[in-house]
Amino acid sequence: MEQIPTDEPAKPSASGSTYLIGEALLGEGNEIAHVDLMIGDKQGIVGTAFASGMSNLSVGHTPLLAVIRPNLPPKPYTLLVPKVTVKNMEDAGKIFGPAQAAIAKAVADSVEEGIIPRDKVDDWVIICSVFIHPQATDFRKVYMYNYSATKLALKRALIKYPSLEKMLYDKDRAKHPIMGFKVPRLWRPPYLQISIDNPDLERAKKVIAQLPGSDRIIIEVGTPLIKRYGTRVMNELRQTNKDAFMVADLKTLDVGKVEVDIAYEDTADAVVAAGLAPPETLDSFVHEAKRLGIYGIIDMLNVEDTVAKLKSL
């Protein structure tokens, strides 16, 4: 389990109403638990959402109160909302059984352990959105994972985790476990840039396959390789290294926006234009790269006055 920083407990907002959010993913296999929750005042936003959730029902996503056992809900009162559509009684049994009990017990234990202040149990309510896989079969694991995830999400909510510093530090280092690949971003030098200029696709794949797994390596898909295969070659190369940061060295000279769009559609992390291109082309190139959220690089090779060129943009 990830370490939780020992921050001070969250305080009410300037409006005087507590409104906190927590999230946690734990476990593995079909029994994996993913919990998103809100905790806050009955008289505030969370209380309004709580009442709305209980009174506005939807097929397959019926909210229910968490209970430790029938006739014994925890405090703060907790509304459980299934994320995945409940299609049959087998699915309902997982929600109304181990998931419901796990969340209720996690809330009660959080009060006992001081995670939730005891003087707030009658003032606050919780809305807990849970993921229960339709193919989950092990009720004990469903219980364990959802108990731990709910408790962790509550801890995180009460300390307003993550901190801004942690978010900014981890945002370009983290890898989402379900997505299955990493999308590196710059700027954390030093970097090793490897230019793949040989227009032989199979040789390019062999070179990339031998590279160590590191987000400090930049792969430049060279102009000769792109001229031979088009920007689609990056999709081919990603079959060999799906986490790589790839630069499409287009050497754009005329149509800035269109070439950026084409490279973007073929998964380029960055694109290169020639500094010899007209300012209008480079302006369009940079604007489109920024709009799409990828890097626009201007190659100043053979540009006589680099400073003047930059000032013209």
Task: Give pLDDT tens digits for 145-176.
Answer: 999 999 999 999 999 999 999 999 888 888 88
CB 109, CB 151: distance < 8 Å: yes
- Which residues 6+ apart lie within 8 Å of 308 measured at CB? none
Which pLDDT does position 106 carry in this prediction? 98
Is the pLDDT at 35 greater than 60, yes or no? yes
Q: What are the tens digits of pLDDT across the range 227-239?
A: 999 999 999 999 9
| Residue 60 in this model has a pLDDT that exceeds 90 | no
Residue 5 has pLDDT above 70, yes or no: no
What pLDDT does residue 155 have?
A: 97
Are 98 and 236 contained in the same domain? no
Closest by CA to 291, choosing from 254, 246, 257, is 257
Whether 218 is in a domain gets the answer yes
CATH of the domain at 105: 3.30.230.60
Q: Are residues 98 and 156 in the same domain?
A: yes
The predicted pLDDT at position 1 comes to: 40
d(CA 264, CA 269): 7
Task: Indicate whether 23 and 165 sit together in one domain.
Answer: yes
Q: Is residue 259 part of a domain?
A: yes
Number of domains in the chain: 2
Whole-model pTM?
0.77
CATH number, position 267 = 3.20.20.70
**pLDDT score of 287 more than 70:** yes
Mutual orientation of helices 256-265 and 279-292 as an angle, nearest 10°? Answer: 30
Report residue 307 as tokens. Answer: 């400073």
Residues 23 and 164 in one domain: yes
Q: What is the pLDDT of residue 179?
A: 80
Cα angle: 83, vertex 170, 40; to 5 degrees = 45
Whether residue 178 lies inside any domain: the answer is no
Taking residue 139's Cβ as centre, other Cβ atoms within 10 Å add up to: 16
Range 93-113 average pLDDT: 97
Question: Looking at the structure, do residues 144 and 113 belong to the same domain, yes or no?
Answer: yes
162 and 23 assigned to the same domain: yes
What average pLDDT does range 28-39 have in this prediction? 96
Query: How much is the pLDDT for 189?
Result: 86
Of the candidates 147, 151, 142, 131, the residue with the CA atom closest to the CA atom of residue 39: 151
Q: Are residues 28 and 165 in the same domain?
A: yes
**Is residue 103's pLDDT more than 90?**
yes
In a domain, 301, yes or no: yes
Task: Using the predicted structure, report yes or no on whether residue 11 has a pLDDT greater than 80.
Answer: no
Q: What pLDDT score does 10 carry?
A: 58
What is the predicted pLDDT for the residue at 3? 46
- Residue 12 pLDDT greater than 60, yes or no: no
- Does residue 156 sit in the same domain as residue 200? no
Range of the domain at 85: 19-169
Q: Quick one: pLDDT at residue 2?
A: 46
The answer to which of 9-23, 59-73, 136-150, 157-171 has the lowest mean pLDDT is 9-23
Does pLDDT of 101 surpass 70? yes
pLDDT tens for 178-203 read 787 888 888 888 999 999 999 999 99
> 174 lies in a domain?
no
Task: Say if residue 154 is in the same domain as residue 202.
Answer: no
Is residue 1 situated within a structural domain? Answer: no
**313, 283 contact by CB (below 8 A):** yes
How does DSSP assign 192-211, residue by residue?
EEEEE--S-HHHHHHHHHTS
Which of the residues are catalytic? 34
- What percent of the chain shows pLDDT beyond 90? 80
Question: Which pLDDT score is estimated for 82?
Answer: 95
Q: Is residue 5 part of a domain?
A: no
How much is the mean pLDDT over the chain? 91
Mean pLDDT calculated for residue range 292-313: 94
Do 218 and 263 lie in one domain? The reply is yes
* pLDDT per residue as tens digits for the range 201-257: 999 999 999 999 888 999 999 999 999 999 999 999 999 998 899 999 999 888 889
Res 7 pLDDT > 70: no
Predicted pLDDT of residue 224: 94
Task: With respect to residue 12, please indicate whether it lies within any of the assigned structural domains.
Answer: no
Tokens of 271: 């694109």
Last residue of a domain, one of 131, 154, 169: 169
Same domain membership, residue 24 and residue 126: yes
Residues 35 and 157 in one domain: yes
